[in-house]
Structure 1
Amino acid sequence: MFFIPSRYCSLMTGLAAAMVLGACATPPAPQPQEKAPPACQAAATDDKLVGNWLSIRKQKGVAGELRTLYTLNADGTMAYTELLKRGKNPSQGLAETGCWQHTKQTLVLQTLTSNGMPVDLDDPIYTNRYAVTSITTDNVALRDADGARITARRMSPGYRLPF
């Protein structure tokens, strides 16, 4: 009679079980494709919102002064830069880029990158809608989704917020 050591039997049984389970396994699901960022649409030729707009305001519940620069380019791209100035403390900032649209009396800013990082395009926090309540050559008045009034004045091309 032929004798097989129990250690060898256990090893062979384990290998056989692994092969059976491996054959039953399904292949990994393909990784979902990342959404391509939307293409920005050029603004109307005579759109008065094209340009750099600076808003300086206080906001309830925020200690300090908010300085916001909206850069709305004719090709439909935008940059949104916001600084919080608090006395002698260093400024805190936010820099976003993306697309903008002006339809009737609504300005929509769609952020694609925030502080240099791509954003989740399905997250509604990165889509900001403003009612355009008035616009002149030098000033614009907006109302955000919460009803807060924002006034901004036109700045020269190339203007940047000082840090």
Structure 2
Amino acid sequence: MTKANILRRTCWVAVLATVFLSACAVKAPAPEPAAQTVPAKPVHPACQPAAAGDQLAGNWLSKHRQKGVVGELRTLFTLQADGSMAYTEQVKRPNKPSQGLNESGCWVRKGNDLQIHTQESNGVITEPGDPIYENHYNIVTLTARNLVLRDQSGTTYRLTRMSPGYRLPF
């Protein structure tokens, strides 16, 4: 073998050894990313239980039509005795899937005033104290089966008591 062949072979062996060793080399662990500051989720106060035997506790359904809206509006107030609430509103249109709003939070009755405080809207935690998520309704009529509410804009809701566990159909 000539010196040139030996040199060529030695170079190839060196290259292959370098590739092999670099593939086997242990990589140092990557440095951990700096701790990122995650904004704190808003904290809402706990719901206050309703007065024992309050007739407002229950499921209340309203079905009505509104000028300028194609289809029927369905509104379900679910007022629990523990002070929690769920508010669901759907637009039911012919030959189209329902569209809606799902909110949860707390409710409180102060005389003839029903106050709804939304804490979560369509799965997103709301900002405490934001007035858009605080609604007041005047209790016009309340019987065992019927409830009439009037909101601050003057809209009247005529609601019927539904069975416990009632949910709006899709």
Gaps of 5+ in 2: 1-36
Residues 85-127 of structure 1, C-alpha deviation per residue, up to 9 Å, x if partnerless?
1111110011100000011000011000011110122321111
2:154 is the counterpart of 1:151:
no
2:46 is the counterpart of 1:55:
no
The residue that corresponds to 1:125 in the other structure is: 132
- Could you state the TM-score of these two structures normalised by the residue count of structure 2? 0.75
- Which region of structure 1 is more displaced relative to structure 2, 118-127 or 139-148? 118-127
2:83 is the counterpart of 1:76:
yes
Q: What SS does the aligned partner of 2:132 have?
A: helix
Identity of aligned residues (%): 54
Gaps of 5+ in 1: 1-29
Larger CA Rg, structure 1 vs 2: 2
How has the CA–CA distance of structure 1 residues 138 and 118 changed in structure 2, closer, same or farther, with 3 Å as cutoff? Answer: same
CA distance in 2, matches of 1:161, 1:136: 22
Q: What SS does the aligned partner of 1:161 have?
A: coil
> How many pairs does the alignment contain?
134
CA distance in 1, matches of 2:114, 2:67: 23
CA distance in 2, matches of 1:149, 1:104: 18
The residue that corresponds to 1:38 in the other structure is: 45
Are the aligned partners of 2:112 and 2:139 in contact in 1 as well (CA < 8 Å)? yes
The residue that corresponds to 1:7 in the other structure is: none
The letter for the 2-side match of 1:153 is T
Q: What SS does the aligned partner of 1:69 have?
A: strand
- Which region of structure 1 is more displaced relative to structure 2, 89-98 or 60-69? 60-69
CA distance in 1, matches of 2:166, 2:38: 43
CA distance in 2, matches of 1:33, 1:87: 43
C-alpha displacement at 1:34, in angstroms? 5.1
